Amino acid sequence: MQPGTHVWPHTGPTNCRLRIHLGLVVPPEGCRIRVTNQTRRWEEGRVLVFDDSFEHEVWQDASSFRLILIVDVWHPELTAPQRQGLTPI
């Protein structure tokens, strides 16, 4: 994500998944994400996990780019029959 980027508040299409963000290149200041009423910062080599069906937004106010690996996984509260009835994410 380039400096000066703001991803406006939005929600994901389903609550059947969790979204995992792994910080690969993270400037020390200026990068943050808000999910509902909690705001967090990424750290290199650390993960953030959240349900993106909740409202969230991102700010990239740092002077250099940010690189995050994003992985989607099934929500752990889904049963095997429920997952089989859904299309892959």
Does the pLDDT of residue 89 top 70, yes or no?
no
Structural domains of the chain, ranges and CATH numbers in brackets = 5-84 (2.60.120.330)
pTM value is 0.89
**Which of 23, 64, 19, 76 is closest to 45 using CA atoms?**
23
Pairing of strands 38-40, 47-50: unpaired
Interatomic CA distance for residues 43 and 46, integer angstroms: 5
Does the pLDDT of residue 88 top 80, yes or no?
no
CB 18 within 8 A of CB 50: yes
CB 70 within 8 A of CB 78: no
Q: What percent of the chain has pLDDT over 90?
A: 90
pLDDT digits (tens, 9 = 90+) for 38-85: 999 999 999 999 999 999 999 999 999 999 999 999 999 999 999 888
Residue 86 is predicted with a pLDDT of 85
